[in-house]
């Protein structure tokens, strides 16, 4: 994150150390978390059905539970 380099004291530190000192999460983590929140909203009906993607769950032979 380039913005963390704007803080003078953190300018020479590696990315991970800058994040730790500022108590921030990685961009990758934030993107995955946001995606998971959006999927949860879609699956639980928090979105209008006309405005989001329709998911279809498909089971393939051999992927079903075997009596467990």
Residue 45 located in a structural domain: yes
Work out whether the CA dihedral 16, 22, 25, 31 comes out positive or negative: negative
pTM above 0.75, yes or no: no
Question: Is 38 a domain residue?
Answer: yes
Distance CA 68, CA 66 (A): 6
Instruction: Domain count for the chain, please give it.
Output: 1
Residue 47: pLDDT band (50, 70, 90) is: confident
pLDDT surpasses 80 at 4: no
Query: Would you say how long the chain is, in residues?
Result: 68
Q: Is residue 40 part of a domain?
A: yes
Let me know if residue 17 belongs to a domain.
no
Residue 47 lies in a domain: yes
pLDDT at 15: 87
- What's the domain range around 52? 26-59
Convert the pLDDT of each residue in 10-41 to its tens digit: 888 888 999 899 899 988 999 999 999 988 88
Res 52: pLDDT: 62
Grouping H, G, I as helix, E, B as strand and the rest as coil, residue 41 is helix
């Amino acid at each position: 994150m380039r913005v963390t380099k704007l803080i003078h004291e953190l300018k020479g530190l590696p990315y991970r150390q800058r994040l730790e000192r500022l108590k921030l999460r990685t961009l990758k983590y934030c993107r995955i978390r946001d995606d998971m929140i959006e999927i949860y909203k879609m699956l639980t009906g928090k979105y209008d059905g006309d405005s989001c993607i329709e998911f279809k769950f498909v089971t393939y032979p051999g992927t079903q539970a075997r009596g467990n």
